[in-house]
Amino acid sequence: MPRKPPKTYLTLKKKHPGLLRAVEALGEAARKAGPLDDKTAHLIQLAAAAAVRSEGSVHSHVRRAKEAGATPAEIRHALLLLTSTIGFPTVAAALTWAGDVLGK
């Protein structure tokens, strides 16, 4: 069963539909601009979401990476790889947020 988008997203989409269409089109264009597959692209976006400590984006990109074929082990490893770059506390938080989607 597909997950309902977050309330904040739905509110923004209702109030600013043109803006949300543009943001979504930009994301799609960026993914199509190069040779990376969707799984790799979402793992990279997951890493960026973790780096900026965006819990909602981590949730979103964990779901999207899973839908693109990433395993829970690959998702957790992508986050663990960030430890020396963004620090253990930030990685630990991101792993907790990933666990919200993946289960413990």
Q: How far apart are CA 15 and CA 35, in angstroms?
A: 34
What are the sequence ranges of the domains in the chain?
A: 1-34, 36-104
CATH superfamily of 36-104: AhpD-like (1.20.1290.10)
User: How many Cβ atoms from other residues are within 10 Å of residue 96's Cβ?
Assistant: 12
In this predicted model, what pLDDT tens digit does every residue of 54-90 receive, in sequence order? 999 999 999 999 999 999 999 999 999 999 999 999 9
**Is it the case that residue 1 has pLDDT exceeding 60?**
no
Q: How far apart are CA 104 and CA 89, in angstroms?
A: 18
- For the entire predicted model, the pTM comes to 0.87
pLDDT at 5 (0 to 100): 79
The confidence band for 104, taking pLDDT boundaries of 50, 70 and 90, is low
